[in-house]
Amino acid sequence: MTQVEDCIFCKIANREIGSEIVDERETAIAFRDVNPKAPVHILVIPKKHIPQIKDLGPDTCEIMGDIFSLINDIAISEGISQTGYRVICNIGEEAGQEVDHLHFHLMGGRFMMWPPG
Ligand code: 5GP
Ligand code: ZN
């Protein structure tokens, strides 16, 4: 398990390392994926270090509200709200989670296959 002090997404949220930040709220921030898999590929994360969905609870309602507020607004500003887009959260090894800081992939701008590979 990644420690907070080693967490790349905590460093991005704290602006200790650079990324292309798209928008933010009080408790959440959105930035472009460094290795995009779609024309629009943005990661939306809590500013606080929360590893996975299982770590969410009644005390994280504001954070999740901020995350989905960002997703809605960015889908509009990126021009994909009408054509459609994916919101993906990989959890654990079999889903391919690489970074142990909760993040939602907002992906769009191309046709998506279903089911994912
Ligand atoms: P996961 O596989 O954990 O769901 O997705 C992690 C995502 O984070 C990947 O799409 C990867 O390209 C992205 N990523 C990893 N390190 C960095 C980084 O330092 N900066 C940015 N902007 N994205 C990163
Ligand atoms: Zn973190």
pLDDT band at 20 (very low <50, low <70, confident <90, very high): very high
Please determine, for residue 2, whether its predicted confidence score (pLDDT) is greater than 90. Answer: no
> Catalytic: 105?
no
Ligand 1 pocket, 21 CB below 6 A?
no
Q: What is the mean pLDDT of residues 55-67?
A: 97
* Alpha-helix residue ranges (DSSP H) falling in the chain: 8-13, 61-77
Please determine, for residue 102, whether its predicted confidence score (pLDDT) is greater than 70. Answer: yes
The answer to whether 102 and 52 have CB atoms below 8 angstroms apart is yes
Question: Amino acid identity of 67?
Answer: I
For residue 117, the model assigns a pLDDT of 85
Spatial separation of the C-alpha atoms in residues 11 and 90, rounded to whole Å: 20
Ligand 1 pocket, 28 CB below 6 A?
no
Shortest CA distance to 71 belongs to which of 116, 101, 103?
103
For residue 4, the model assigns a pLDDT of 81
Q: Which ligand is nearest to the CA of 116?
A: 1
* pTM for this prediction: 0.97
Give the CATH number of domain 8-108. 3.30.428.10
Ligand 1 pocket, 31 CB below 6 A?
yes
